[in-house]
Chains A and B, each alone.
Chain A
Amino acid sequence: MKRFTAYVFLLALLLTGCGGPADPDTAQESIQVLAMDTAMLITTYGERSPAAAYACEDVIRGLEAKLSRTLADSEVSRLNAAGGEPMEIGWDAYSLLERAAAYSSSTGGAFDITVAPVVSAWGFTEDSFRVPSQAELDRLLPLVDSSQVSVTPSLDSNGDGPKAMVTLGPGQAIDLGGLAKGYAADNILEVLQEYDVPRANISLGGNVLAYGDRPDGTPWRVGIQDPARVGEQNAFAGVLALTDSFAVTSGGYQRYFEQDGKTYHHIIDPATGYPADSGLTSVTVVAGLGEGDGSGFPGTMCDAYSTALFIMGEERALAFWRDETMWGEEGCPFDLVLVTEDGRVVVTEGLADRFTLDEGSGYSLETVSRNGQ
């Protein structure tokens, strides 16, 4: 009998030794998703990591189906094709239009979703690049005006959540591409919490959600692509050590074309109709998880601000960062990493000890604080 007990004990030991409950640090699921015109990599940890990762993919595909400008039957495409007639839109598009209006006013128009017709004129929507004539731009620029978009929430929703009626001005079109990935990141945060994911590393093409920390307990290492060395992998301006953060980078190097020896990139200044020429080569906006329930839309904010601050340039961007009163009602604290054309990397104080300059990049590092230089 003694021996039998010993056997049972040994058996139990063996079972726990080679099987056992899945270690939350080693249970990991990594999936790659092609959506929203970019390559996304979703890595979730924990016992429910596979279910969580695929739930994230569902969220992304669901949002893409509603918000894409290239899918003909998305809400956004139908709104753009409505020719100024009122159109009913769902909750996601509605809340993004509200966010867009807020970011547009807080950035003084540097962020504007109605810049879509101008972006199309440059061919960035269909990958058929061309330089539009000044006359064409002069004709299109009056259409870039968020105040002509009217949004009326309709409360008589019949069970499928709140909806809204939207009317665009005649000839106007909107592009939520500058918000959609950030909004997807905000939604993914909720999925991760719902599935009790202890840590995750979500990369949505220029948008990163670093959730929790790495399995070894150190912060996630997020590299900022060196705009001057685009053809190289692992060529970074520097590396950010992030936990529980959203981070988004906008840079002119991400999409561009060359014509007659000149380079034209995809971030169009709504004021001029030309690619922004502000002396910056990339802008990274980093924010915490906010309330943690996605209500402050920190991911969406980072996405919108990275574009807007790239257009505004170093001086205006830093002034905007310093002045909390400019952020609007739901604005949450954020920090910046700016890469300038003249070889400097400017980091705001909140990131000073989380940013490591890449030795090989040749940039000089400057840290700025809230109260003056």
Chain B
Amino acid sequence: MKPFPKLRPTAWDGLVVLCVAALAIVLALFQWRTGPSQGLTAVVSVDGTEVDRFSPEALREGPRTYTGGGYTLEVALSIDYEHPASSALPPSGQTGLCVAASDCPTQDCVHTGTITRSGQSIVCLPARIIVRLEGGEPDVEGVDAVLG
């Protein structure tokens, strides 16, 4: 009932392989052109549970708010916000996140300032909220841990 399939690779197979490879290369080039920051993902967790995952660019549409432990945090792009530690603004062309406002008592999350690189995070202990940047290019020159 069925035609018996060809078992030896043919030139047409090569074409399929070339198509897939070409697609992979085109996509990779496209991503490379748009820069590594495209690969950065902000991951927000409340009390250990992931509640949101978005590209920092998505904040151009407006800040996002998260609630935990009775406190509310507003996460925004640093460039949209007049941060007290203005020297902490990211270098031009980079996307930086910060907690623009929080009603928590310690304000540590607001004081943390801007995060721009994979692996960095902003933590609000009273609200038990962690905003962490993931993905993107591994940071070779950066530090592995911070004392302080």
Contacts and interface: CB of A to CB of B under 8 A. Distances in A.
Is A–B contact present in the complex under a CB 8 A cutoff?
yes
Interface of A: 32, 34, 37-39, 41, 127-128, 201, 203, 206, 208, 210, 214, 220-225, 227, 229-236, 239-240, 247-249, 251, 253-254, 282, 284
Contacts of B128: 34
A243 to B, nearest CB: 11
A23 to B, nearest CB: 15
Which of B45, B111, B123 has most A Cβ within 10 Å? B123
Contacts of B116: 233
Given A221-B144, A249-B148, A39 B125 contact: yes
Interface residues of B, number: 31
Contacts, number: 93
Given A32-B132, A34-B128, A34-B130, A223 B85 contact: no
Contacts of B88: 231-233, 235
B148 A233 contact: no
Contact of A230 (B111, B126, B144): B111
Nearest to B45: A32
Interface string B53-97: 000000000000000000000000000000011011000000000
Interface string B116-133: 110011010110101010
Contacts of B85: 231-232
B125 A222 contact: no
B148 A206 contact: yes
Contact of A233 (B47, B106, B114): B114
Contacts of B3: none
Contacts of A38: 125
Nearest to B141: A221
Contacts of A254: 148
The 5 closest A-B pairs by CB, nearest first: A225-B148, A231-B85, A249-B147, A39-B123, A223-B143
Nearest to B147: A249
B145 interface: yes
B123 A233 contact: no
Contacts of A229: 87
B78 to A, nearest CB: 11
B121 A208 contact: no
Contacts of A231: 84-85, 87-88, 111-113
Given A32-B45, A234-B143, A284-B147, 18 more contacts: A32-B130, A34-B130, A39-B123, A39-B125, A127-B105, A127-B106, A206-B148, A208-B147, A220-B145, A222-B144, A224-B148, A231-B111, A231-B113, A233-B112, A233-B120, A236-B146, A240-B147, A249-B147
Contacts of A227: 148
Contacts of B120: 233
A233 B87 contact: no
B5 interface: no
A57 B47 CA distance: 14
B142 interface: yes
B143 to A, nearest CB: 4
Nearest to A236: B143
Nearest to A254: B148
7 contacts: A201-B145, A210-B144, A223-B145, A231-B88, A234-B117, A234-B142, A247-B147
B115 interface: yes
Given A34-B48, A34-B128, A37-B125, A225 B106 contact: no
B3 to A, nearest CB: 23
Which of B87, B114, B115, B148 has most A Cβ within 10 Å? B148
Contacts of A210: 144-145
A233 B133 CA distance: 13
Contact of A208 (B84, B113, B145): B145
B125 A221 contact: no
A223 B143 CA distance: 6
Contact of B146 (A32, A222, A282): A222
Which of A41, A224, A254, A282 has most B Cβ within 10 Å? A41
A24 B147 CA distance: 26
Given A34-B48, A233-B88, A203 B146 contact: yes
A260 B120 CA distance: 34
Contacts of B112: 231, 233
A77 B148 CA distance: 27
A113 B85 CA distance: 35
